[in-house]
Amino acid sequence: MIYLNNAATSYPKPLSVQDAMLDALQSSGGNPGRSVDSLTGKADDVVNHTRFLAAKMFGISNPNHVIFTSSATEALNIAILGTLKSGDHVITSTMEHNSVTRPLYHLETQEGVRVTKIPMDPIKGVDPDDIVAAITDDTKLVCLTHISNVTGTMNDIAEIGDICHKKNVRFLVDASQSAGTHPIHMDSMNIDLLAMPGHKGLMGPSGTGLLCIGDHVDPALLNPIKFGGTGVQSELPYQPIDLPFRYESGTLNVPGIAGLGAGIRFINETGMDNIFVHESFLMQMLLDWLSDIPSITIYGNLDATQKGAVLSINIDGMDPVDVAMILDTSFEIAVRPGLHCAPDAHRTIGTIDIGGTIRISPGYFTTAEEIHAFIDAMKEISE
Ligand SMILES: Cc1ncc(COP(=O)(O)O)c(C=O)c1O
């Protein structure tokens, strides 16, 4: 199987990730924070080490500001629902994932939150001047994707972070398609909240995600969305304010967190820049070769260095699902067809009424030979 669906989840996972998960199951079987025995201590160590690695990777000094979640979706829900209340205004873009648009739709229709969607250009991204123009006295949050999961389009998050910082508006970045491949430094980029999956670019397993909270963000001003046992401050009737406990009720996914830590170590050892260079090289191959097939439409930027490793295309007159099924059954190639949980992005690129696109997303373990095989398959199908 040639796997070109890394934007959904990365595959395969490094062997060190698999080993770390097995080791956690075999020798770190305690429940972190729930006792004083050595098995619990080992589970604590696994969790604390991954927190430390994530804090270092994303430019925050306090590892307790790294919150473990089950997915990017949960991290985004904490950040969005925890920040906004009735009467607030939020700015977002026209190319967000449903993990952003659905919580915002809920707040808009149920709580009277005002939502402004700034146009995101499929090639250039959001124009920072549009953010400046949209900010009002009521604006409490700017919430943007770093890289579109449909077209790979990139936003200039450092410049937009600077604007939010100057206007004193909280800045939430959805790093689902950039964490692990693009350097993100929360402090120097003025990012207040950073949400991401652990199971894509960070190479961790399914069921992992992170919400990184800026060192300066006051947890009293970010409400939790789930409440319960934290293993500490059990005498309190209310949810503790202290991090990470405020947002981590319930038993943590220790094997998953062990795998996520090993994924981050793998990236550190390999070099994030080497991962980017490899994926970008494969993406440029795709862009150059697919551009030569007349019946193929490519959406977004044709320069791989200016985008993430996510590409949307269509073959004239063919349903994306049919193409994906032919790729699977006749060529053993996995891609993703459809709307990719981001209908607004398809409204933006004009593919909402034609069943979306065929999305191709190579990863670090994809080879040039596999890209060649994919291009040959696309030539054959389009002929
Ligand atoms: C841009 C973006 N945001 C959010 C998500 C949701 O991630 P998860 O499946 O980890 O909740 C995805 C996953 O496809 C994504 O691509």
Quickly state the pLDDT bin for 33 (edges 50, 70, 90): confident
Distance CA 170, CA 163 (A): 10
What is the reported pLDDT for 29?
86
Is 40:48 a contact under the CB 8 Å cutoff? no
Measured in Å, residue 99 CA sits from the centre of ligand 1 at 7
Last residue of a domain, one of 217, 250, 269: 269
Q: Looking at residue 9, what DSSP letter applies?
A: S
Residue 221's pLDDT is 96
- 315 and 352 co-located in one domain: yes
% of residues, the chain, pLDDT over 90: 97
- Ligand 1 pocket check for 361: Cβ under 6 Å: no
Mean pLDDT, rounded, for 348-365: 98
Residue 209, ligand 1, Cβ within 6 A: yes
The pLDDT, as a whole number, for residue 36 is 87
Q: Are residues 261 and 324 in the same domain?
A: no
Q: How far apart are CA 105 and CA 140, in angstroms?
A: 16
Nearest CA residue ID for atom 7, ligand 1: 72
Among 96, 97, 151, 200, which is best to mutate for testing ligand 1, by the most ligand atoms less than 8 A from CB? 97
Answer yes or no: do 116 and 60 share one domain: yes
Strand partners, 358: 313, 337
Residue 177 Cβ < 6 Å to ligand 1: yes
CA pair distance 275, 271, nearest whole angstrom: 6
What's 363's DSSP letter?
-
Residue 256 and residue 305 in one domain: no
Provide mean pLDDT across the span 269-279: 98
Same domain, 258 and 369: no
In the reported structure, the alpha carbon of residue 263 is separated from the centroid of ligand 1 by a whole-number distance in angstroms of: 18
Question: Is the beta carbon of 73 within 6 A of some atom in ligand 1?
Answer: yes
Q: Which domain holds residue 298?
A: 2-9+271-382
166 C-alpha to center of ligand 1: Å? 29
pTM for this model (two decimals): 0.98
Per cent of the chain over pLDDT 70 is 100
CB 344 within 8 A of CB 94: yes
Does the C-beta of 93 come closer than 6 Å to ligand 1?
A: no
User: 131 and 163 in contact (C-beta within 8 Å)?
Assistant: yes
| Rg of the chain taking only CA atoms, in angstroms | 21
pLDDT of residue 141: 98
Question: CATH number for the domain including 165?
Answer: 3.40.640.10
Judge if 218 and 326 occupy the same domain.
no
Measure 145 CA to ligand 1 centroid, in angstroms. Answer: 10
Contact between 197 and 209 (Cβ < 8 Å): yes
Find out whether the beta carbon of 176 lies less than 6 Å from any atom of ligand 1. Answer: yes
Q: What is the pLDDT of residues 61-93, one digit of tens each?
A: 999 999 999 999 999 999 999 999 999 999 999
Q: What is the pLDDT of residues 96-141, one digit of tens each?
A: 999 999 999 999 999 999 999 999 999 999 999 999 999 999 999 9
Pick the atom of ligand 1 nearest to 75's CA. Answer: 11
- How far, in Å, is the centroid of ligand 1 from the Cα of 247? 19
43 and 65 in a single domain? The answer is yes
The residue among 269, 299, 315 that closes a domain is: 269
Residue 96 CA: nearest ligand 1 atom is 1
Give the pLDDT score at 334: 98
Ligand 1, residues 5, 9, 149: which to mutate, most atoms within 8 A of Cβ?
Answer: 149
pLDDT of residue 68: 98
Name the residue of 68, 73, 74, 143 to mutate for ligand 1: max ligand atoms within 8 A of Cβ.
73
Number of other residues whose CB lies within 10 A of the CB of residue 350: 11
Indicate if 183 and 213 belong to the same structural domain. Answer: yes
Of 32-46, 193-207, 259-273, the range with the lowest mean pLDDT is 32-46
Q: What is the DSSP letter of 362?
A: -
306-326 per-position pLDDT tens digit:
999 999 999 999 999 999 999
Co-location of 216 and 306 in the same domain? no
149 CA closest ligand 1 atom index: 16
The pLDDT of 334-351, averaged and rounded, is 98
Nearest to 7 by CA among 220, 180, 189: 180
Does residue 251 share a domain with residue 160? Answer: yes
Based on the domain organization, do 35 and 67 belong to the same domain?
yes
Residue 69 near ligand 1, beta carbon < 6 Å: no
Distance (angstroms) between ligand 1 centre and the Cα of 34 equals 31
Taking the C-alpha atoms of residue 333 and residue 235, their distance in angstroms, rounded to an integer, is 55
Q: How many CA atoms lie within 13 A of 137 on its CB side?
A: 0
- Domain end call among 214, 236, 269: 269
- For ligand 1, say whether the CB of 208 is within 6 Å of any of its atoms: no
φ, ψ (nearest 5 deg) of residue 195: -110, 140
**CA 339 to ligand 1 center in whole angstroms:** 13
Phi first, then psi, for residue 259 (nearest 5°) are -65, -40
Judgement on whether residues 232 and 339 belong to the same structural domain of the protein: no
5, 70, 99, best to mutate for ligand 1 pocket (most atoms within 8 Å of CB)? 99
Residue with CA nearest ligand 1 atom 15: 176
Give whole-number Cα distances, 344 to 40, 91, 95, 283, 356, in Å.
45, 15, 5, 24, 11
The CATH number covering residue 322 comes to 3.90.1150.10
* Short-list 226, 262, 276, 266, CA closest to 246: 226
Number of domains in the chain: 2
| Ligand 1 mean position, distance from CA 67 (Å) | 17
